[in-house]
């Protein structure tokens, strides 16, 4: 008679025990991705050269090449974590496995601000656009959140509809400006693909406060999102405020996706693909999903960036293109899974 309760309590512990080696393995993959990001590129270097640079025994040229890759590696670490956690939060809050940061209008807002700055304010260069993309992305995300949360009919469907409307309007504006000013389109098309190269540490410092605030808010709201997954009535019975938890999760996603998009441009599929992989390993606990996403997102983005540098060396394939190739199969698998469970 006592074996059934024992089995019931042992099963969750067994799952938790399996998550530990999975998390350690993900950390190991991230460590290898960090090493590869500073070791490989258009100029031939090796992991041994990276170690020589760290120990101070490398020649000046090798040290300069390796150190020039530090900013893009740091940006990949930050942007990958932000996009993955934002996607995890969005899919958890909306209960939509196809949700990603683009649903919030952040990408369209950043694009509209960048195009405006290029067309009318003389902005140029990938690094300089961050100062325009940052407020544009933040304002668009907050606008979607306000529209989707206001009124008596507020709900998940209204939030999605608000994101679609704001994105459509801003995308139409971007198309109108770029078609009317071909020189703007020539500059904009490089930004809109998404890339880690061509940016320095000041770009990282400019978006870091938003990223830290978003990650902190994500960790704080994750326990409440577990209750929210049971339904609003069950969450309220457990002492959580569904409206507050939903608002906190969406605000965290806005901050995180704004920081990533402003820093490196729109990079697709990281926020869509990583949460599916994380859920398969970490289970349904949002706290565990956020922790796994913090590690898995940067690992995926950095490995994609390394692949883009190596595949066409000495030319470079932008990381946004590589993640699209990786993420498209993940989207198809997600659609098949939804169809099978319908």
How many structural domains is the chain composed of?
A: 1
At 324, which CATH number? Answer: 1.10.3470.10
Is residue 54, in this structure, part of any structural domain at all?
Answer: yes
In the numeric block, which tokens belong to residue 274?
């990583």
Asked whether residue 1 is domain-assigned, the answer is no
**121 lies in some domain:** yes
pLDDT value for 334: 60
What's the pLDDT score for residue 214?
Answer: 94
Question: Does some domain include residue 67?
Answer: no
Alpha-carbon span 270 to 205, nearest angstrom: 22
CA gap 266, 64 in Å, rounded: 29
Number of other CB atoms surrounding residue 68 within 10 Å? 14
What is the model's pLDDT at position 52?
Answer: 87
Determine the pLDDT at residue 124. Answer: 67
Beta carbons within 8 Å of 179's beta carbon, 6+ residues apart: 185
Nearest Cα to 299, choosing from 73, 88, 99? 73
Q: Is residue 147 part of a domain?
A: yes
Contact (CB, 8 A) for 112 and 186: no
Q: How far apart are CA 242 and CA 165, in angstroms?
A: 25
How confident is the model at residue 217, as a pLDDT? 95
pTM of the model: 0.86
Query: In which residue are the tokens 């041994």 written?
Result: 48
Q: What's the pLDDT at 232?
A: 66
Spell out the per-residue pLDDT of the chain, length 342, in tens: 444 444 444 455 556 677 888 899 999 999 999 999 999 887 878 888 888 888 888 888 888 888 999 999 999 999 999 999 999 998 888 877 777 888 778 889 989 998 998 888 877 666 667 788 888 988 998 888 788 776 554 556 777 788 889 999 999 999 999 888 888 887 788 788 888 988 889 889 989 999 999 999 999 998 888 877 766 676 677 667 777 888 888 889 989 998 999 889 889 889 988 998 898 888 888 999 999 999 999 999 999 999 998 887 778 888 988 988 877 776 677 666 655 554
Any domain includes 117: yes
In a domain, 217, yes or no: yes
Check residue 8 and give its pLDDT. Answer: 45
In whole angstroms, what separates CA 238 from the centre of its chain? 30
Residue 326 belongs to a domain: yes
Give me the pLDDT at residue 190, please.
77
Residue range(s) defining the domain that contains residue 300: 27-37+47-58+72-341
Tell me if 134 sits within 8 A of 123, measured CB to CB: no
């Amino acid at each position: 008679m006592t074996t059934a309760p024992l089995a019931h309590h042992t099963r969750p512990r067994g799952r938790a025990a399996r998550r530990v080696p999975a998390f350690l393995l993900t950390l190991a993959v991230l460590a290898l991705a960090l090493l590869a990001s500073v070791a490989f590129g258009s100029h031939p270097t090796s992991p041994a050269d990276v170690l020589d640079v760290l120990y101070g025994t490398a020649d000046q040229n090798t040290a300069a090449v390796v150190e020039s890759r530090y900013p893009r590696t740091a940006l990949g670490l930050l942007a990958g974590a932000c996009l993955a956690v934002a996607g995890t939060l969005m899919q958890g809050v909306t209960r939509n496995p196809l949700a990603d940061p683009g649903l919030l209008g952040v990408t369209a807002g950043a694009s509209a601000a960048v195009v405006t700055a290029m067309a009318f304010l003389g902005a140029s260069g990938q690094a300089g656009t961050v100062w325009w993309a940052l407020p544009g992305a933040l304002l668009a995300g907050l606008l979607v959140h306000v529209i989707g949360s206001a009124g008596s009919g507020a709900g998940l469907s209204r939030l999605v509809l608000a994101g679609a409307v704001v994105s459509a309007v801003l995308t139409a504006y971007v198309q109108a400006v770029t078609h009317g000013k071909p020189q703007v389109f020539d500059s904009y098309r490089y930004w809109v693909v998404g890339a880690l190269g061509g940016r320095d540490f000041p770009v990282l410092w400019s978006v870091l406060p938003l990223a830290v605030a978003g990650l902190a808010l994500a960790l704080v709201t994750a326990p409440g999102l577990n209750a929210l997954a049971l339904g609003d009535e069950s969450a309220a019975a457990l002492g959580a405020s569904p409206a507050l938890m939903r608002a906190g999760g969406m605000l965290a996603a806005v901050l995180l996706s704004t920081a990533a998009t402003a820093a490196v441009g729109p990079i697709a599929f990281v926020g869509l693909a990583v949460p599916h992989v994380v859920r398969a390993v970490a289970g349904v606990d949002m706290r565990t999903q956020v922790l796994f996403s913090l590690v898995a997102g940067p690992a995926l983005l950095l490995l994609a960036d390394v692949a883009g540098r190596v595949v066409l060396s000495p030319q470079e394939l932008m990381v946004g293109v590589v993640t699209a190739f990786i993420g498209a199969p993940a989207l198809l698998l997600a659609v098949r899974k939804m169809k099978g469970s319908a």
